[in-house]
Structure 1
């Protein structure tokens, strides 16, 4: 058991600092357990006291740092966004977006990650703070991959004025829809179709303006 710190100073809002040392170890342990609980049991079973116990961290520390379950989920999503793989650059917009689609498919097919995302998406439908945290997560990921589209515009592969963020979202959208409506993670062929469809639409000027 890691004892709670002696300081009575309030903890900063999750995600506003980059902790080091013992604080980083506590955060890593707590976020790992939170992700496990979400993946295994869903949002309804996420409890700060239980997370503290499973992570071997003082309950007071967890309550002071995260404050609520939604605060913990927000920090978990922020950490996931930071830890996600960087974009791939293949030299063509289609190649880049195929790589993006393949990454999404692998993530959704992963037993832990796929279940975790389903749990968070379900929670976001009825909890405003979780919904905002999920939006921030995807804002980070879209911003990471948008330069692939911008480079495609610069190379003349796509029309000037193409909205890079909308193209990236158009790749992921059908893959998440397939997961949520069928319960089955999209396969590699689905990823190829999603990337090809997004690029074809972009070349046709659908995302201009």
Structure 2
């Protein structure tokens, strides 16, 4: 089910920011409890205290609300590890993904949001933007490794992060296979090994 491709409106501060925060919180709560098929504008309006006419005007419907929740998540700062070595940083990043998604209390919300986002063009576009933003932020750990001389010059930090986290998301959202801490650590180790070998650096010669 696709709704109109509406881009979320600019987000000034003050009351508009409070409305946005309330709507995002309500959307996350509703999608966690009911999934995409049970998510309705009426329910988000009732939970957030924001009139449904406002929700339709600003976000266009359910798909726009999901996109806004993802955009809001991407806006949140993500403190990055700095262990002094690439493999240590990557292990902490993959462990965070593992810990969040497998936590009985924390995991259901991001799982439900990502699953819902895949059900519409608007949500899928917001999901791609969310991961792109997160990868850009996390690429700093690879860039620091290049500065230390640990990785070849020109290494694509974003690709390093993708390589480290992709096996986790594959299990979580594609195969449904169990995810454990050792799998998360192994994914980080493999990505670090590939990066050090130059697989994510420009070809020379």
User: Normalising to structure 1: TM-score of the pair?
Assistant: 0.84
Aligned-partner Cα distance in 1 for 2:10–2:95 = 31
**Is 1:17 the equivalent of 2:11?**
yes
Return the match for 1:85 from 57, 78, 95.
78
**Map of 1:22-37 to 2, 5 A cutoff?**
22-37=15-30
Return the match for 2:132 from 131, 139, 142.
139
Return the match for 1:58 from 24, 40, 51.
51
**Map of 1:153-168 to 2, 5 A cutoff?**
153-168=146-161
Residues 8 and 59 of structure 2 are in contact (CA less than 8 Å); yes or no, is this contact kept in structure 1? Answer: yes
How much is the aligned-residue C-alpha RMSD, in angstroms?
2.0
**Is 1:47 the equivalent of 2:40?**
yes
Aligned length: 196
Q: Which consecutive segments of 4 or more residues in structure 1 shift more than 4 A? A: none
Return the match for 2:93 from 92, 97, 100.
100
Aligned twin of 2:68:
75
Aligned-partner Cα distance in 2 for 1:119–1:49 = 19
Aligned-partner Cα distance in 2 for 1:183–1:24 = 39
Residues 97 and 171 of structure 1 are in contact (CA less than 8 Å); yes or no, is this contact kept in structure 2? Answer: yes
Return the match for 1:205 from 195, 198, 204.
198
Measured at CA, do residues 133 and 165 of structure 1 come closer, stay the same or move farther in structure 2, by a change above 3 Å?
Answer: same
* Partner-residue secondary structure (3-state), 1:42: helix
Aligned twin of 1:196:
189
Shift of 1:75: 1.1
Aligned twin of 2:3:
none
Residues 26 and 48 of structure 2 are in contact (CA less than 8 Å); yes or no, is this contact kept in structure 1? Answer: yes
**Map of 1:148-187 to 2, 5 A cutoff?**
148-180=141-173, 181-182=175-176, 184=178, 186-187=179-180
Residues 39 and 112 of structure 1 are in contact (CA less than 8 Å); yes or no, is this contact kept in structure 2? Answer: no
* Partner-residue secondary structure (3-state), 2:151: coil
* Partner-residue secondary structure (3-state), 2:139: helix
Relative to structure 2, which stretch is displaced further, 133-142 or 74-83? Answer: 74-83
**Is 1:119 the equivalent of 2:143?**
no
The gaps in structure 2 that reach 5 residues or longer are 1-5
The gaps in structure 1 that reach 5 residues or longer are 1-11
Measured at CA, do residues 82 and 199 of structure 1 come closer, stay the same or move farther in structure 2, by a change above 3 Å?
Answer: same
